[in-house]
Amino acid sequence: MSSTAASKGGRGKPKASKSVSRSSKAGLQFPVGRIARFLKAGKYAERVGAGAPVYLSAVLEYLAAELSKLLGTVTIANGGVLPNIHQNLLPKKVGKGKGEIGSASQEF
């Protein structure tokens, strides 16, 4: 009774293997499936081969890495985010005015 059905108990379907994306098969970060879909929908050719979107994804990923390396330290003039904090959220200004010159009380 050491058959395959006896060891599994004969209940249910065997577990399906987890799907692996084409990007992970190719070792890429760019989405191969999305690029394949764009190539097919864009009518660039009648048919799109299986290797074309993988190759295009690899080229785009390489170009993105090169641009990131070249432009990593570039700062854009006036390209930052200016702080916009509401006045109610800012701390109160503590300073000695004309009326507080002779006061001996402590402010907490």
Domains contained in the chain, number = 1
CA distance 21 to 44: 24
- Assess if residue 15 is contained within a domain: no
For residue range 58-75, list pLDDT tens digits in order. 999 999 999 999 998 887
CA distance 4 to 6: 5
What rounded mean pLDDT belongs to the chain? 84
Three-class SS of 2-53: CCHHHHHCCCCCCCCCCCCCHHHHHCCCCCHHHHHHHHHHCCCCCCCCCCHH
- Assess if residue 17 is contained within a domain: no
- Assess if residue 62 is contained within a domain: yes
pLDDT given for residue 37 in this prediction: 95
Selected residue with higher pLDDT from 1 and 39: 39
- Assess if residue 44 is contained within a domain: yes
For residue range 6-59, list pLDDT tens digits in order. 556 778 888 889 999 999 999 999 999 999 999 999 988 999 999 999 999 999
- Assess if residue 11 is contained within a domain: no
pTM for the model: 0.58
CATH code assigned at 65 = 1.10.20.10
Domain containing 55 equals 22-71
- Assess if residue 60 is contained within a domain: yes
Selected residue with higher pLDDT from 76 and 53: 53
Burial of 52 (C-beta count, 10 Å sphere; 0-12/13-18/19+): middle
- Assess if residue 101 is contained within a domain: no
pLDDT given for residue 94 in this prediction: 81
- Provide the CB-side half-sphere exposure for 39 (13 A, CA): 19
Helix, strand, coil shares of the chain, percent, nearest 5, are: 40, 0, 60
Q: Inter-axis angle of helices 32-41 and 52-70, to 10 degrees? A: 120
